[in-house]
Structure 1
Amino acid sequence: MQPENDILFISAPVNALVEGIFKADTTIGEIRQHGDFALGTFNQLDGEMVMLDGHTYQVSGKGDVSPVADDVHSPFAIATFFRELSRDDVAEGFESVDDLFAKLQDLLPSQNMMYALRIEGRFSFVRTRSVPRQEYYRPLVEITRNQPTFERTDVQGSLIGFHTPAFMSSLNVPGIHLHFLSDDLAFGGHLLQCRAQHATVRVQILRRLRMDLPTSLAYLTADFSRDTADDLAEAEKEQAPCGQVQVHGGKDK
């Protein structure tokens, strides 16, 4: 039976992550039953997740990229079986992440639909972040205020992610959310900033949603009545430099 390729799978509502529920029983193997293209994080916020072409990678809080086994757990992931419906060349490139987002928005038929996005090219500059493993509870927004960031120049790679309508903001990050993975599998993370002279944008429309709800005691007894929109927006954006910055060296060979 062929997988359905117009469904967005969400393993848990993003509000649970914002409110500090960093552990769940969902495994990478279970997530792969719902897609071959995903982003998210791992239990105890142990780095950033990138799943591309069915292979899952962890970008650690030190910036290292490593493959992930199917028995590893995740508190939050979004996934689909990526099958592009359109492909566009951005011949003029983009000068910043804001410029990229504006160009992506112009390519989307409606802001009220969900989309999977894959942007491939040679990037003159990319800045990403990851989150170190958390042993003790702290709010997500507080953790990301001291996020380690990583930079690389002249790198071939892919941005993978999703566009989610604003009215779904309690379920997933609203707007465009992207992670980066270099072709050499040596650099990646949550996208903060980028530049490229040329890129190819592949878009898939997702018109159906499936979401699992956790059954842990922490989730069942949590209070989700608070409006977390501001916290989520701050956690997703680039912060003023206050943590470590690592430059991943050199050009691709």
Structure 2
Amino acid sequence: MKNFLFRICHLANLPLLLIVLLIGLNSCKSALNKSRTSKQNLAGDDFLYQYSIIDALMAGVFDGDLTIGKLKEKGDFGIGTFNKVDGELIMHQNRVYKVSYNGSVREASDTDSTSAAFVKFFQTDTTIYLAGKGLTYAQVQEYLSNKLNPNGIYALRITGLFSTMTTRAARPAKAPYTTLAGHLKNNQAVFNLRNTRGVCNGFLLPPYLARTNVPGFHLHYMDDSIKEGGHIFNFTTDSLKIEIDIAKGFVIENNTNDEFRKVNLAPDRGEELKKIE
């Protein structure tokens, strides 16, 4: 990335501590809920919280029982989807928005529900400014991958003016559901946005989280006017502000919908995931 200028304003030298908490066993569910899923503990302990796992969504578990109101108790920043994979979810400053298949953006109701979501109480540990004519999403990924420890769990908030921004949003599925890859094949809208200013929220996750979450980069976009956005495929820009929040670990809450109990999670869907991300 020659000629790119950057300035690191603050870098916290935090030790890498991986704490994997699996919630779902009846014998310890009550204790885990009290000690790890409260708003106070998730914020204070600096954990990524996720409802359901990516392999369940990939396999067609498109409905969940967690409301948006309850999701806001788990974080103030993040991404995900809604029941029936109806559009793209972006949480920004504890408000949740839906980017729909028709391109519209609206604030989600607290009574809406999600089938998969990944959220965190965002606490900036590092701020980086990048500048370079025609800087691409791929170049930003390369830069961050080279600078950050590959075993870390990072929440990323990227803001700037984007000369181009390519995003997508899914059309809501109808039962009986197919796999996510099968649904998106003919049921996603791609948006080619121009000269748009806004925020990209999401995560950079290590390979060892594959099958529970999306390894690598996974970000959603929303413009400042709250009129356009979606799951990010690509962008170009001349300058960016990148805020990085280093998580200590992650908490998984299993999808409580009956379909999660019935789905076959044995197949490895890694290759399917690469094609749609």
**Fold equivalence (TM over 0.5):** yes
Aligned counterparts, 1:134-153, within 5 A: 134-136=173-175, 137-146=177-186, 147-153=188-194
Aligned counterparts, 1:96-245, within 5 A: 96-108=136-148, 110-136=149-175, 137-146=177-186, 147-236=188-277
Cα offset, 1:97, TM superposition: 2.2
Q: Which residue of 2 aligns with 1:250?
A: none
Deviations 1:125-144 (A, max 9, x none): 10100001111312111222
Cα offset, 1:235, TM superposition: 1.6
| Alignment-mate amino acid for residue 12 of structure 1 | S
Paired residue secondary structure (1:210): strand
Q: Which residue of 2 aligns with 1:26?
A: 66
Q: For the residues of structure 2 that align with 1:107 and 1:117, how far apart are their CA atoms?
A: 14
Cα offset, 1:100, TM superposition: 2.0
Q: For the residues of structure 1 that align with 2:230 and 2:221, how far apart are their CA atoms?
A: 5
Q: For the residues of structure 2 that align with 1:159 and 1:5, how far apart are their CA atoms?
A: 24
The 3 A distance-change label for structure 1 pair 93 and 163 is farther
Contact 1:113 1:205 in 2 (8 A): yes
Contact 1:94 1:100 in 2 (8 A): no
CA RMSD, 1 decimal: 1.3
Gaps of 5+ in 2: 1-39
Deviations 1:168-225 (A, max 9, x none): 1111011010111100101100001100000011001011211101233211122111
Paired residue secondary structure (1:230): helix
**Range that drifts further, 49-58 or 98-107:** 98-107
Q: For the residues of structure 1 that align with 2:51 and 2:134, how far apart are their CA atoms?
A: 32
Paired residue secondary structure (1:62): coil
Contact 2:57 2:115 in 1 (8 A): yes
| Alignment-mate amino acid for residue 68 of structure 1 | A
Higher strand share: 2
| Greater C-alpha Rg | 2
Paired residue secondary structure (1:95): strand
Q: For the residues of structure 2 that align with 1:61 and 1:104, how far apart are their CA atoms?
A: 30
Q: For the residues of structure 1 that align with 2:59 and 2:264, how far apart are their CA atoms?
A: 9
Q: For the residues of structure 1 that align with 2:150 and 2:68, how far apart are their CA atoms?
A: 29
Q: For the residues of structure 1 that align with 2:247 and 2:165, how far apart are their CA atoms?
A: 27
| Residue-pair matches, total | 235
Paired residue secondary structure (1:227): coil
| Alignment-mate amino acid for residue 92 of structure 2 | L
Q: For the residues of structure 2 that align with 1:5 and 1:185, how far apart are their CA atoms?
A: 31
The 3 A distance-change label for structure 1 pair 166 and 225 is same
Cα offset, 1:96, TM superposition: 2.6
Paired residue secondary structure (2:66): coil
Q: For the residues of structure 1 that align with 2:139 and 2:184, how far apart are their CA atoms?
A: 23
Q: For the residues of structure 1 that align with 2:118 and 2:134, how far apart are their CA atoms?
A: 26
Q: For the residues of structure 2 that align with 1:140 and 1:53, how far apart are their CA atoms?
A: 28
Deviations 1:17-55 (A, max 9, x none): 000000010111111111000100000010000000111
**Range that drifts further, 139-148 or 168-177:** 139-148
Q: For the residues of structure 2 that align with 1:229 and 1:21, how far apart are their CA atoms?
A: 16
Deviations 1:79-138 (A, max 9, x none): 000110010100226533211211222332x11111000111111110100001111312
TM-score relative to the length of structure 2: 0.82
